[in-house]
Amino acid sequence: MSTADVAEDTDALTMGRRIRQLRTARRMTLEELAAAVDRAPSQLSMIENGRREPKLSFLQSIARALGTTIDALLEGEPLDERSTMEIALERAMKGQTFQALGLAPFRIAKSVPTDALKVMLALHGEIERLRDERAATPEEARRANVELRHLMRTQDNYFADLERQAAEILTAVKHPGGPLTQRTASEIAAHLGFTLHYAPDLPQTTRSVADIAHGRLYLSSRVPTRGDARAAVLQALSSRILGHGEPRSYAEFLRQRVETNYLTGALLVPEAHVVPVLQDAKARRAISIEDLRDAYSVSYETAAHRFTNLATRHLGIPVHFLKVHESGTITKAYENDDVNFPTDRLGSIEGQMCCRRWTSRVVFDVEDRFNPYYQYTDTGNGTYWCTARVEASSEGMHSVSVGVRFDDTKWFVGRDTPHRGVSKHSVEACCRRAPADLEKRWRENSWPNVRTPRTLLATLPTGAFPGVDATEVYEFLEAHAPR
C-alpha cells in the first residue's frame, strides 16, 4: 500500500485521531509512543492532529508499537464522540464560514471541555443553515415572490400603514399637495437628518449609500441625467423612514424592496391629493395612466404602480399590471382581477414568457411610441382591456401595461380602440408552440445558441444585502466620510 493509497482510503485528520484513540486506550503517553517509534513527540503530535501524513513505513512502526495493524488504523472501529467532534470542528475551522467571520483556527487542547465543542459545532451548524437560507436559489426566490404577491393580492395592493407614513412625512415638510418637487425631496432628507451628496464613484452594486453615522446620503452623480432624481432620493430615504434593518432572509429583503418602492410612490403621488383626482376621472369616464403620469411628473411605470395601489380600494376597480422585457420575459406582475397569467409549478409569474398575443407583447411592434397603445384581448378567462407603453431602461426595452376586465373598461380613456387579440394560452398551447409547418421544416434543421440568464444556475449573492459588495461599500464610505 503506497502513501497515495493511504490518502485515498482515509484522511490524515481521521487517521491521526484514531492513532490517539488507540494510544490513550492503551494508557500510553505521547512521549512513550514517540520513544517506541524512535521519533520526537512533536512529530507524533502533528500526526495525531492531522497536520502531517505519515509515510507508510512510519505508519507500520506506529501500528506495531500500538499492537495493531495498518488496516486497523485506516479502517478500525468508529472514533469516540470526543474525537469525532474534534475532527468536525477542525474541518469547520478550515471552511468558508469561519473564514468569512474572520475567525482564526485554534488548536483543540485536551483542556477544552467536550460540552464547549458541542456548543461550537451547534453554533457553526446554525450559521451554515442561515447562510444557506439567505443564499436564496432561484427557486427559493420565486417562492418568496409568490408569497409576497399573495399578500399584495389579499390587500388589493394597498398598504394603509405605508400610506399613513407617507402622509406624516409630507405633513412634516408642509407639502401642499400635487407634484413633489426636488426641493421638497431635499427637505424630506433634511427632516430625516441627511444631507445629499452626489459621487461619481458610487459602488456599482448600489443605487445609493447612506452614511448613518454622519447623516450623509450618497447618490450617483449620473442619476439626474438617467432618471428621476426625486425617485432616487426618496427610495434611499424610504428605508430610513420605514426603519428597515439588515434583512434576515431573501423574503424579507424582497418585502423591504416592495415597501420602499411603495412608499416612494406614495410620496411622489400622495393619496390624499390623487384620490379625488381619480374619482373625478372615473365620474367623467376618463381614467388615464398618462394623465396621472403627467399630473405628478413621474414615470409611466410609477404612475401605473400607483394606480394599482389605489384603484380597487378607492375606485372599486380590480386591475392587473405587467412589466415585460423586449425578450418576452415577464419581470413584474400583479393582479386581483382573475386574469390568467402564465405561471411555473410554484405559481411564480416572473420569469415566464408573456403570450405573444397579449397587449404587453404586441405593443413592441407598434411604431407609434408617442401615444399609448390600447387593446382588447379575448382569453380563456374572459375579455380584458389593457393600456400599454414601451420604455427604455439600462436592461433594454420594457413594456408596462395596466389592464381591467371588460366590464370595467367603460371608466377608461381608450375604451373605443379597434385593436383586438385572442390569447388561449391558459387552455391550449397558443403561441407557446410554433406553427406546425414551421416546426416541421426547421425542428431538425436548426440549433439556437441559448443566451442563458446569468442568474439561472447561480444562487443569489449572499451578504448583509443580497447582490451588494459589502467591501466595496465600506471602502467607499471610508473614502468619503468627513475627517
First to last CA, the chain: 65
Element (H, E) at 322: strand 320-325
Question: What's the whole-model pTM score?
Answer: 0.71
Q: What is the pLDDT of residue 427?
A: 61
Q: What is the pLDDT of residue 5?
A: 42
* Residue that is written with C-alpha cell 393580492 in the block: 153
* Residue that is written with C-alpha cell 405628478 in the block: 296
The list of the chain residues with pLDDT below 70 reads 1-10, 76-77, 100, 130-138, 223-227, 426-433, 446, 449-468
Q: What is the pLDDT of residue 178?
A: 83
* Residue that is written with C-alpha cell 513505513 in the block: 57
* Helix, strand or coil, per DSSP, at residue 474: helix
The 10s digit of each residue's pLDDT in 377-405 is 998 889 999 999 999 877 789 999 999 99
* Residue that is written with C-alpha cell 495493524 in the block: 69
The 10s digit of each residue's pLDDT in 146-159 is 899 999 999 999 99
Residue 142 neighbours by CB under 8 Å, 6+ apart: 344, 346, 348, 350, 351
Q: Could you tell me the three cell numbers for 299?
A: 414615470
DSSP E strands, 168-287: 195-199, 208-211, 216-220
Q: What is the pLDDT of residue 55?
A: 82
Q: What is the pLDDT of residue 279?
A: 98
* Residue that is written with C-alpha cell 410554433 in the block: 434
